[in-house]
Structure formats: C-alpha cells, structure tokens
C-alpha cells in the first residue's frame, strides 16, 4: 500500500500533494521504473520540502499552543484574529505589506500568520510579491517592481487576504479589487455598501467592474470605488442597500 493525503495524516493541500509525490516515487521504484539512486535523490528532495511545510506556528509540535505571540519575522500575532476572526487596522500597522500605501495600483497583503503557502508569489509574473525560499514566510511587497493590476494574486489567495488598491483612481475616490464569491454578481455602476474587515458598514461604494475568467480559475474579481479615506479599511461589498 502507498498512502498519501489525509489517510497519511490530515494537514493542508501542499503537504498532501508532496505526500502524493513521495508515494508515487515509491510506487515507481517498487515497480522498477526508478533505480535506487534516482529514487533516493528525488524522495529526499520531496521530504525536505515536506519538512519545510511542517515548520512554524502550524508545525505539529505547535498545534494547540496558546502562548505564541510573534511570527517568525518578529511581528506581533493578532490576538483579535484568534478571538474574533479578523485583524484590526491597528494590528495591521506592524505588517508593511498590509499597511504601506503607494502611488497607483498596488497589492495590499493582509496575511499575518506563517501559513505554508506561496501561490501569490507564483501568480505574480512581474515579481511584485515575494515569499522567499521559506514557504511559511509572510509575503512581502518587492519595491521597484511595477504592479499591472492583473489581479492574479487576488484570485490565487485561498485566504482572500490580498487586495489591489489604487488611491489615485480619481480626485475623491480610491479603487479596491477583491475576490467576490456571492451570487448574483453585482453589475457595473451598481451602488452598494463597503464593509470593514469585521463586516460592518463603512460607506457607499460603486461597482467599477467584475472580472471572471479561466485565468482566475473562476474566481470573480470585483473592483469598487470608495472615498479615499476608506481605501485601507473597505474589504467587502454588499449591494443590498445603503449604510445602516
């Protein structure tokens, strides 16, 4: 028997995929399609990747711990996220990729935990986002790289923690692009309410566009316009009426 996935231990998707690779290598070796040397080389490389995924706050030895207070980079962990499910604006100020405002359209990454994933880095073909060799590292914005506003990083983030912000959309408003997974989809020009990270109404918002394609794996990218002062606060959209 060659086991992989949840039957070999419940973890996250990347670990399951590498476990599947190891199981496949073992099966190929057993069937005579890989010699001993090739099997050892490839299996050791896969196990090294698997070990890297099992580091940090989500490592087996850290599961269930409540005394962790900092990320691997030394950022203070969000206690509000653990208690209420969202990071406060004050807590995000410690994370450069989540709080730094730049001219023109740029990604804002509100990823605050050492989660073993890096699809945002792979999705950006222009090198704007860098996780680095340690897959559990918190993504950073690469200065000197130009964001084209393609939205691939937004679509690829499984935690929906990436937004595109353009504070220069017009004289009074900023444009924010986010993943949107509710039906029916809003239409261009439709008015609604921008919501905070906590889901509370912030201000009126206008739909600028909604993109959905095979390139984004079916994830809809919604772009809304809000008053400039809410560009770093508005993180969701509802089109069922005005602000309460």
Kindly report, residue by residue over 190-229, the tens digit of the pLDDT: 999 999 999 999 999 999 999 988 877 789 999 999 999 9
Asked whether residue 242 carries a pLDDT value surpassing 70, the answer given is no
Q: Which helix (H) or strand (E) holds 53?
A: helix 36-53
Q: What is the Cα–Cα distance from 74 to 90, expressed in whole angstroms?
A: 16
183 domain-assigned? yes
66 occurs within a structural domain: no
Number of domains in the chain: 2
- Range list of β-strands (E), the chain: 105-109, 129-130, 140-141, 162-166, 173-180, 191-195, 201-211, 220-227, 236-238
- 200 domain-assigned: yes
For 37, 41, 53, 149, the CA distances from 44, given in Å and listed in that order, are 11, 5, 14, 39
Cross-strand bridge partners of residue 76: 70
pLDDT tens profile 32-65 = 999 999 999 999 999 988 887 777 666 777 767 7
Asked if residue 244 belongs to a domain, the reply is no
Burial 123-135 (b: 16+ CB within 10 A, else e): bbeeebbbbeeeb
Does any domain span residue 155?
A: yes
Predicted pLDDT at 188: 95
> What's the full length of the chain, in residues?
244
164 occurs within a structural domain: yes
Instruction: Name the average pLDDT for the chain.
Output: 89
Residue 65 is assigned to a structural domain of this protein = no
Does residue 125 sit in the same domain as residue 164? yes
Asked whether residue 31 falls in the same domain as residue 133, the answer is no
**Dihedral of alpha carbons 52, 127, 163, 233, sign:** positive
Say whether both 160 and 211 belong to one domain.
yes
3-state secondary structure of 205: strand
Residue 34 located in a structural domain: yes
**pLDDT over 70 for what percent of the chain?**
95
Residue 189 lies in domain: 79-238
What is the tens place of the pLDDT at every residue in 102-157? Answer: 888 999 999 998 887 888 998 999 999 999 878 788 999 998 898 999 999 999 99
- Residue 72 CA, distance from chain mean position: 17
Residue 119: count of CB within 10 angstroms of its CB: 18
Task: Verify that 17 and 133 share a domain, yes or no.
Answer: no
Q: What is the pTM of this model?
A: 0.79
Q: Are 157 and 214 in the same domain?
A: yes
């Amino acid at each position: 028997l060659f086991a992989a996935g949840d039957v070999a231990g419940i973890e996250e998707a990347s670990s399951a995929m590498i476990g599947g690779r190891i199981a496949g290598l073992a099966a190929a070796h057993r069937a005579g399609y890989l010699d001993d040397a090739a099997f050892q080389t490839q299996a050791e490389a896969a196990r090294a990747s698997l070990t890297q995924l099992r580091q940090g706050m989500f490592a087996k030895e850290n599961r269930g711990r409540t005394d962790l207070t900092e990320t691997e980079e030394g950022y203070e962990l969000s206690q509000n996220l653990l208690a209420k499910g969202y990071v406060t604006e004050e807590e995000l100020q410690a994370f450069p990729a989540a709080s730094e405002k730049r001219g023109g359209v740029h990604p804002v990454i509100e990823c605050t935990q050492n989660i073993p994933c890096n699809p945002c880095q792979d999705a950006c073909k222009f090198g704007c986002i860098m996780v680095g060799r340690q897959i559990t590292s918190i993504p950073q914005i690469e200065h000197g790289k130009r964001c084209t506003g393609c939205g691939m990083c937004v679509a690829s983030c499984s935690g929906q923690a990436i937004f595109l912000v353009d504070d220069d959309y017009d004289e009074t408003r900023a444009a924010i692009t986010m993943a949107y997974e509710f039906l029916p989809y809003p239409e261009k020009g439709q008015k609604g309410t921008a919501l905070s990270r906590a889901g509370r109404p912030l201000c009126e918002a206008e739909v600028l566009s909604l993109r959905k394609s095979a390139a984004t794996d079916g994830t809809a990218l919604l772009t809304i316009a809000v008053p400039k002062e809410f560009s770093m606060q508005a993180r969701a959209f509802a089109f069922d009426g005005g602000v309460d």
